Amino acid sequence: MSFSNFIQSMATVLPEVPKPIKKLSLNEKLFWTGIALALYLIMAQTPLYGVPTGGADPLAYTRIIFASAQGTLMELGIGPIVTAGLILQLLKGAEIIKIDFKKPEDRALFTSATKLLTIIVALIESSAYIVGGFFGSTLSPTAGFIITMQLLAGTIVVMLLDEMVQKGWGIGSGISLFILAGVAQRIMWDIFSPLPAGNEPFGLIPFLINSTIHNRLHATIIRAGGLPSLSTFALTLLVMFIIIYIEGMRIEIPITSIKFRGFSGVYPIKLLYTSNVPIILVSALLTNITFFSQQIWARYNPLNNNQFLNWLVMYNRTNIQAGPIGGLVYFLTPVHGLDRMMAEPLRAITYALFVVFFSVIFAKLWVDIGGLSPKAAAKSLVDAQLQVPGFRRVDVSLESMLSRYIPTITIISGIIIGLIAATSEILGVFGSGIGILLMIGIIIQYYQLLLREQLETMMPRLGALLGIK
């Protein structure tokens, strides 16, 4: 049986959300988008049965990307969906699997393959969490099975919610929506949380009120341990403005249409050409490094008495969940807050260099196999019957012209994204540096989608001309 036949046979048993029978209004789409968001938030607050609550979280700095919540049905978040999608996109970009997205049957095949791989990844990750002791080292086989089924069920529900939103019931992408909700939730927590952090409230506003009552306003400027303060709030706003400004920077190449005489426009090449994909891949890499280093330490060096493995990583035997305390992996994890950055400058520098270096590597990789290369862009222009004035309408000519810009912008894009994410993480901005990057990009995306939806509602013919469905 061929791969396509196997996927087609599996598609008959995979859960699926049907498309709406008729086109929904904007209000109806907003309603169903709200339903999807509400269900996600409920699952993100529903604890896993049989899993102890509380304790430190060694994966806290990567949870924003995967919209996950420790110890809940959203422990895996959108991780399996994103991982499965990236794997298949890479396989398609490398032409290991042959998929033509212009053909409806190929698009359906790709969707079914993504669903099946998502379920497989969820099972693998769930098993790894249990074997690795993330839920305790004394779990019975029955308890492990129950936890695995809960995590699998949570992943399937999130997968279906994302499919529901993308198939026309909602607006945009469920994955983007859940990431946005997770970042916004974390920012609200940093600002308003009344829960204690030591002898003081955690959130900025409760701490500000408490400091005003006790005549200690100076203490709100900088707080130890990277806790929310006026300085981190100001840095958060600054980072937001920088990202919004950079998002609007682009090179515009004039284009004309062969099919429609008199039509002219521009082909934009954004400064952030690779978007946020490189930093997502870097975060996934850091997550795997943390996870597997913990497994190696637990199996081969639990007493920190192996000098060779100590160069790799060391953990506190009484609190492994608090993260590494030494070794190479320790210098690849971020510090949080100005005080910790000053206390451990080498760790801050190595983390930043690691993030920037691999952001550039993944940016180049994504452009080469993600359909963003000069060759792929030139082919897209030719297929769309567009040309650049002064250049022949052939792939080779357009590719040569685009090669002047895309490789350089790819490197610059990776450096900028890596620097913003790393420095923001180190400085302790609200919602984390990676979270702010993702949030701004998603908000801009939703703003554009809502404008198009409103335009289509007011001017249906113009909406049809723009290809709004």
Please report, for the domain that includes residue 283, its CATH number: 1.10.3370.10
Same-domain check for residues 36 and 181: yes
Residue 313 near residue 402, CB atoms below 8 Å: no
Whether 69 is covered by a domain: the verdict is yes
pLDDT score recorded for residue 467: 45
Residue 218 structure tokens: 């100076």
Model confidence band, residue 465 (pLDDT cutoffs 50, 70, 90): very low
Same-domain check for residues 55 and 182: yes
Residue 373 near residue 269, CB atoms below 8 Å: no
Same-domain check for residues 47 and 166: yes
Q: Residue 78 and residue 67: Cα distance in Å, rounded? A: 6
Task: Provide the domain count of the chain.
Answer: 2
Q: Residue 455 and residue 449: Cα distance in Å, rounded? A: 10
pLDDT score recorded for residue 293: 84
Which uninterrupted H or E stretch holds 176?
helix 174-192
Same-domain check for residues 10 and 105: yes
Whether 231 is covered by a domain: the verdict is no
Q: Residue 174 and residue 166: Cα distance in Å, rounded? A: 7
Residue 190 near residue 228, CB atoms below 8 Å: yes
Same-domain check for residues 265 and 334: yes
Whether 461 is covered by a domain: the verdict is no
pLDDT score recorded for residue 469: 44
> Model confidence over 418-433: pLDDT tens digits?
999 899 888 888 888 7
Answer whether residue 152 shows pLDDT above 90: yes
Q: Residue 45 and residue 42: Cα distance in Å, rounded? A: 5
> Model confidence over 193-246: pLDDT tens digits?
888 887 888 889 999 998 888 888 888 888 877 788 898 899 999 999 998 888
- 53 or 379, which is more confident: 379
Whether 181 is covered by a domain: the verdict is yes
Whether 368 is covered by a domain: the verdict is yes
CA distances in angstroms from 62 to 25, 292, 400, listed in the order given: 36, 15, 39
Same-domain check for residues 137 and 253: no
Q: Percent of the chain beyond pLDDT 90? A: 21
Q: Which residues pair with 251 in a beta bridge?
A: 269
- On whether the pTM is more than 0.75, the answer is yes
pLDDT score recorded for residue 93: 67
Whether 468 is covered by a domain: the verdict is no
Whether 24 is covered by a domain: the verdict is yes
Range of the domain at 274: 244-430
Whether 36 is covered by a domain: the verdict is yes
Same-domain check for residues 275 and 424: yes
Nearest to 174 by CA among 117, 118, 225: 118
> Model confidence over 374-406: pLDDT tens digits?
888 888 877 777 777 776 666 677 788 888 888
Average pLDDT over residues 443-456: 80
Same-domain check for residues 161 and 82: yes
> Model confidence over 181-197: pLDDT tens digits?
888 888 998 899 888 88
Same-domain check for residues 182 and 249: no
Considering 145-154, 169-178, 240-249, the range whose residues carry the highest mean pLDDT is: 145-154
Same-domain check for residues 68 and 177: yes
Same-domain check for residues 159 and 299: no
Phi, psi values for residue 269, rounded to 5°: -115, 105
Residue 303 structure tokens: 């007493």
Same-domain check for residues 256 and 405: yes
> Model confidence over 75-110: pLDDT tens digits?
988 888 888 887 887 777 667 777 776 677 777 888
Q: Percent of the chain beyond pLDDT 70? A: 89
Answer whether residue 35 shows pLDDT above 90: yes
